[in-house]
Amino acid sequence: MNVLFLATWYPYPPDNGSRLRSYYLLQGLAHKHRVTLIALYDADQTPADSSPLHEWCQRVIALPRRAYVPNRLRALTAFLSSRPRYLVDTFDPSVQDTITRECAGERFDVVIANQLSMAAYAAALPPRIRIFDEVEVGIFQDAFLNARGLARGRNALTWHKFSRYLRQLAAQFMALTVVSEQERTRLGEVGVDGERVHVVPNGVDCAAAQSDPRDPEPFTLIYNGAVTYHANLDAVRFMVNDILPLVRAVEPRARLKITGRADQVAQNELSRDNVVLFTGYVDDIRAVVRSSAICVVPLRVGGGTRLKILEAMSLGVPVVATRKGAEGLGLTDKVHLLLADTPQEFATAVLALLQNADLCERLSHAARERVCQEFDWREIQGRFDRVLQSVSA
């Protein structure tokens, strides 16, 4: 088949969840199909001509992303729009023109639009087979459910607008993919026909993860997620302010590493000398995670497949997570990881792993086996291709 893939994030280097997904889906598609990629890149990115994308794809078109500026006039007037504000503010006519021209100049059998932004562009194309990949509802729903006071009323209006728009947008696609059963359920609650929704989770490259031995630094906890994303920032605040002091009261040698980009405000608020350390952006996050004693995932909001957990488990690192943090993975408490929601429960679980090497080994072995059975990218690539084949048939 001749496939047009629209990626919200230019997928190289594959250094965050969305880029990883597009990167590995493109790799799988290229084995069986002719693929053209159109992807948006950020101001701090320089799309490389030598990336594997150019080996896999017939054409790669990289376009600059228009950043969302909430106080820009267009964003403010979008309060009156039927579409979500950030979609109105970030819509770029030149991107739409490029996509439309490509479709006019070449006959594509299928258009795959990754995430909401690209789905909006794909929906404006003439009728054709379209797949909406990685539909996410949880993050918007959580913002409404967790809001209090005046913010709850404002978020309720945002949730209502988003739900209505998503129903209309979804109707333009023959198939939609979500990363977990929970997201499929949420789509049904919004009013999207469940028969067109397929679960295609995110994953890990198990072969690459197991290529190097593990030599963890004692008493080192890691949160592998950039705090520039609000759900990660909330999780790190919860960890640093409420959980870590309880851990260090028993084990004062414990310290926390936080990977990924972090603005100066977050570092000033959360950093503690030799206790909370920001690594900044690293080229290979696997090396940092592999060298840690425990991966902590105290997420309280957000949706999607928890790549943080899959990544750590594939590397043999034991995990402590909230139930929200492990949502959608189908993992069992005390078999694959330890689950804890309150600060005291979470601290107790962390200390149990710090003090019991046998428990760490048992959890790590069971978790790695489970992850590599169900969440290896090779399996997920095949699952995605079956969705593609079903809609094209």
Specify which residues 132 forms β-bridges with.
113, 176
The per-residue DSSP string of 183-238 comes to: HHHHHHHHT--GGGEEE----B-HHHHTSS---PPTTEEEE-S-TTSHHHHHHHHH
| Domain residue extents for the chain | 2-203+377-392, 206-374
CATH superfamily of 206-374: Glycogen Phosphorylase B; (3.40.50.2000)
Using a 10 angstrom Cβ sphere, with 0-12 exposed, 13-18 middle and 19 or more buried, the burial of residue 86 is middle
**Tens digit of pLDDT for each residue in 40-55?**
998 878 887 778 999 9
Using alpha carbons only, what angle is made at residue 284 by residues 239 and 23, rounded to the nearest 5 degrees?
A: 100
Same fold, 2-203+377-392 and 206-374: yes
Please say if the pLDDT value at position 194 is more than 70: yes
Architecture of domain 2-203+377-392: 3-Layer(aba) Sandwich (3.40)
**Tens digit of pLDDT for each residue in 67-84?**
999 999 988 998 889 898
What predicted TM-score, i.e. pTM, was given to this entire model?
0.89
Return the exposure string of 149-169: e unless at least 16 CB atoms fall within 10 Å of the residue's CB, then b: eeeeeebeebbebbbebbeeb
More confident residue, 234 or 142: 234
- What mean pLDDT comes out for the span 370-381? 95
The pLDDT value recorded for residue 265 is 66
The pLDDT value recorded for residue 303 is 64
The pLDDT value recorded for residue 41 is 95
The pLDDT value recorded for residue 145 is 66
What is the rounded CA–CA span in Å between residue 223 and residue 77?
38
Q: In the structure encoding, which two tokens stand for residue 380, read together?
A: 């997920």
The pLDDT value recorded for residue 268 is 78
**Tens digit of pLDDT for each residue in 295-305?**
999 999 876 55
At residue 392 the predicted structure's pLDDT band, cuts being 50, 70 and 90, is confident
Please say if the pLDDT value at position 267 is more than 80: no
The pLDDT value recorded for residue 269 is 80
- What mean pLDDT comes out for the span 196-200? 95
The pLDDT value recorded for residue 243 is 97
Rounded to 5 degrees, φ, ψ at 384 are -65, -40
